[in-house]
Amino acid sequence: MKNLLTIAGSDSSGGAGIQADIKTFSANGCYAMSVITSITAQNTVTVSGIEDISSEMIKAQLDAVFSDIEVDGVKIGMVSKIESILAIAERLEYYKPKLVVLDPVMVSTTKKRLLSEDAIDTLKKKLIPLSYLITPNIAEAEVLADMEIKNYDDVYKSCEKIFRLGSRYVLVKGGHSVEDGKCNDILFDGKEFFVFEGERINSKNTHGTGCTLSSAIAANLAKGESIKDAITKAKEYVTLAIKHSLNIGHGSGPTNHFFNYTEN
- The answer to whether the CB of 173 falls within 8 A of the CB of 138 is yes
- Is residue 255 one of the residues assigned to a domain? no
Residue 247 vs residues 24, 255, 264: alpha-carbon distances, Å: 19, 9, 9
- Is residue 260 one of the residues assigned to a domain? no
CATH of the domain at 62: 3.40.1190.20
Q: Which of 135, 59, 127 is nearest to 103 (CA)?
A: 135
- Is residue 261 one of the residues assigned to a domain? no
- The answer to whether the CB of 253 falls within 8 A of the CB of 243 is no
- Is residue 250 one of the residues assigned to a domain? no
Catalytic residues: 173, 206, 208-211
- Is residue 234 one of the residues assigned to a domain? yes
Instruction: Give the alpha-carbon dihedral of 13, 16, 18, 19, to 10 degrees.
Output: 50
Q: Give residue 26's pLDDT.
A: 98
Residues 6 or more apart whose Cβ sits within 8 Å of residue 259: 240, 241, 243, 244
Domain containing residue 198 = 3-243
Residue 139 vs residues 106, 172, 178, 195: alpha-carbon distances, Å: 9, 10, 10, 19
Question: What are the residues facing 132 on neighbouring strands?
Answer: none
pLDDT in tens, the chain (264 residues): 999 999 999 999 999 999 999 999 999 999 999 999 999 999 999 989 999 999 999 999 999 999 999 999 999 999 988 999 999 999 999 999 999 999 998 865 555 566 777 889 999 999 999 999 999 999 899 999 999 999 989 999 999 999 999 999 999 998 666 666 667 899 999 999 999 988 878 888 889 999 999 999 999 999 999 999 999 999 999 999 999 989 999 999 999 999 988 754
- Is residue 248 one of the residues assigned to a domain? no
- Is residue 168 one of the residues assigned to a domain? yes
- Work out how many domains the chain is built from and give that number: 1
- Is residue 176 one of the residues assigned to a domain? yes
